[in-house]
A and B are shown apart, each in its own frame.
Chain A
Amino acid sequence: MINWPNFVSQLFNGLALGALLALISSGLTIIYGTLGVLNLAHGAMFMIGGYAGYLTYSYTESFVLAVIAGSLFVMLLGIAMERIIIRHFYHRPHEDQLLVTFGLGICFVEIVRLAFGSQSQIVPPPAMLQGITSLGFLLYPTYRLAVVGIVAVALGGLFLVLYRTRLGMIVRAGIEDSVMVDSLGINVYRVFMIVFGIGAMAAGFAGIVNAPVVSLTPGIGDDILVQTFVVVVIGGVGSFPGAILGGLIAGEIISITSMFNPGYAYVMLFVAMTLVLVLRPHGLLGTQGRE
């Protein structure tokens, strides 16, 4: 027997969970789609965004500054990472790319652990977004409601960059065929650097926006990375709309399954991914031939 008020609550919660997953996954998917590098340090960058914001918050007590600092710091980190390390790996086997990003991820996590310890750190939401809001059918934390809006705006911004600017056109062309873009005389490596920066910034932004919802620990990115991969696989590798669709599907699966049997909430996520891989190996909105 379905408890309808609870069902509607979970449906809404799935949307909120999914929005955040969509934002993190979009960063991962555009990097992979353009550069062909699967960035296993993406979870660590999500975490660093949170900590950079936390540090800013502890000095300024301004949440807005924390969000700006967290996002910018991770963007710069992403650019530095691409310039110093990743670009040397474009022509090396995928295994090497996986290993180097995996290794960087571990280094980032351990550096943060060394600096801040393992105990969790709290970033409170802005005063006006604290408390609980009644939506009629459910009581929902005000800040989580705001996160849905913030993420929607951020995704909208990413959409504009990707679909309404010359840079976005080059990025999308690069996702389809980077060799062709290169032969058209476009400096594809400069584009790669910018894309890596934007992708990292999406993770960093999500990290600090999500910080008041969870509490920060150095390992926070590890858990989210797995889910992000699932989202990218479901949505289709390299597809920005796919990341959004995949994120929302993942959020709903976790929420709705938990109503019937909470122990299977995360299991069902992997069942869904397996089904997609069997029925549409390139993901729901992916295209064959993309790498």
Chain B
Amino acid sequence: MSTKDLRPGSALNVSRRTLLQAGAGLIGGSVLPASMSSSAWAEDHAAIGTYPAGSSGASVFIGISVPRTGTYAVQGEDELKGYQLAIEHINSGHELIKKISPKTSKGVLGKELKYGVADSAAKPNEAVQAQQRFITENKAVMITGGTSSAVAVALNKLAQREKVIFVCGISGSNDTTGKDCVRYGFRQNFFGQTAAAAIAPVMIKEFGKNKKAAYLTPDYTYGHTVTKSMQDFLAQAGWTTVTNQVSPLGAPDYSSYLLNVANSGADVLINVNWGHDAVLSTQQAKQFGVLDKMKLVVPYQVPFIARETGGLMQGVYAATDYWWTIEDKYPLAKMFNEAFEKKYGYKPEWGAENAYVSFAHWARMVEAAGSFYPPDVIKAYEKGETVPSLVGDVHYRAEDHQAVRPVIIVRGKQQKDMKNKEDYYDVVEIVPGEGLMQKPDAFGCHPGDYT
């Protein structure tokens, strides 16, 4: 039988089911008391996005899309754990959440948080489809996702169109809060420009002026903007780019790129690749002797790279959002590390940290707004008040919705200096965020409307 044949009864089944659903909806709608209809909950606000439908019950729904397969799967899982811990803490009114969002008792505005998880595989179309479903079917009041700036940019656009707040997961592209910024999107973590501004002075101090750099760059918005920022900052000290090896996301082999790097005469290899791409390209750089010829720098450090490359990060400088040993300086980081490790059995990396903090900040902003009405929540963020985080006090800029937060510069420890099996890095410097930020309009941010 050809597949074009109609399976017997299939069309009928679908239409019958649809009919039943539609019928149930109609009957259900007609028997609801008038007080349950949405207008009664809208206070003085008109309906917008999933408001008020999404927050009219005893719980609210959050749509989470992280990569659980593909090149960024490891990072996506870490991120998901951070989200789950934050939701658990918010729902139970955990002490740590109260330090960041003091008005939180249990849930957000007394409503329990529920969530759905979808695998984005770091692909924008899959993330958008999943989130569209969470918005339409579950009336999500907030969506999150990232671990690929291509996904973050796509979800920015979805959030603005659907008027649902998007709390960005890991995203390093300048565009996320630059030319592709939106009114409905917020980013807590560091990004290309701040990474470059923080690590370039350290590199110049360590390696000197007028050096030759080779880049490994993933071929999408994240890679291009991070490489551009690094080139711009290093050029001020006379550094030049001798080769920029652009490769597709998930390239199965880096040998040809690395041969070009090996033959380029570079002094420093700047590996912008991320996720498994960074692990594989770094391992293969070692195999090809590239790491014996030149120094390696990872400007946007990949969570888990030190665990996965088996010692290749020793002595390597990297910029990151979070490293667990800063707990000596930041009490909230210590609380977070303990809670996370107790639940998951390892020290959290920055995917988890960013996930946790960005949810905690969202909870705080909703409590401050006193409502889930999105424009009010956005305005709470835009007040720019100082809010606690795991890396000290931070604030969100009204103009581009980017958090102004420090960047942590780390250097891989030698194995003999490691105090425990997860003590991979020395924290070289915690660079305050204010001096790292570009002017809000420098990357062409025009956030769009509230309604």
Contacts and interface: CB of A to CB of B under 8 A. Distances in A.
B3 A93 contact: yes
B255 A16 contact: yes
Given A118-B73, A215-B279, A227 B288 contact: no
Instruction: Name the residue in A119, A122, A138 with the highest tally of chain B Cβ atoms < 10 Å from its Cβ.
Output: A119
A119 B257 contact: no
A201 B229 CA distance: 47
Interface SS, A side:
helix
Interface stretch (A81-89, A186-194, A253-261, A275-283): A253-261
A128 interface: no
Interface stretch (B19-27, B86-94, B173-181, B304-312): B304-312
Contact of A258 (B1, B74, B256, B288): B256
Nearest to A263: B246
A5 B1 CA distance: 58
Interface string A137-148: 011110110000
Contacts of A118: 68-69, 73-74, 77
A3 B243 CA distance: 13
B260 A122 contact: no
A15 to B, nearest CB: 11
Interface string B233-277: 000000000000111101111011101101100000000000010
A119 B3 CA distance: 39
Given A16-B255, A118-B73, A141 B247 contact: no
B263 A6 contact: yes
B253 A214 contact: yes
B70 interface: yes
Nearest to B288: A141
Given A143-B287, A215-B308, A6 B276 contact: no
Given A13-B255, A214-B252, A262 B247 contact: yes
Contacts, number: 112
Contacts of B77: 118
A13 B256 contact: yes
B276 A120 contact: yes
A42 to B, nearest CB: 14
Range class of the A interface residue count: 35 or more
Contacts of B70: 219, 222
A119 B72 CA distance: 10
B71 interface: yes
Contact of A266 (B73, B248, B276): B248
B289 interface: yes
Contacts of A122: 283, 310
B10 interface: no
Nearest to A223: B252
Contact of B289 (A109, A139, A254): A139
B341 interface: no
Nearest to B2: A93
A6 B259 contact: yes
Given A144-B255, A217-B276, A120 B308 contact: yes
Contact of A10 (B1, B71, B73, B256): B256
Interface in A112-142: 113, 117-120, 122, 132, 138-141
Contact of B307 (A3, A93, A119, A219): A119
B250 A223 contact: yes
A17 B253 CA distance: 9
B219 interface: yes
A225 to B, nearest CB: 10
B390 interface: no
A31 interface: no
A213 interface: yes
B197 interface: no
A219 B255 contact: no
A141 B289 CA distance: 8
Nearest to A140: B288
A96 interface: yes
Contact of B259 (A9, A93, A120, A214): A9
B262 A113 contact: no
A119 B229 CA distance: 29
B64 interface: no
B60 interface: no
10 contacts: A13-B256, A113-B69, A120-B279, A122-B283, A215-B280, A217-B276, A219-B276, A227-B252, A258-B245, A259-B260
Nearest 7 A/B pairs, CB to CB: A258-B256, A118-B73, A263-B246, A223-B252, A6-B263, A141-B287, A255-B256
Interface of B: 1-3, 68-71, 73-74, 77, 219, 245-248, 250-253, 255-257, 259-260, 262-263, 276, 279-280, 283-284, 287-289, 304, 307-308, 310
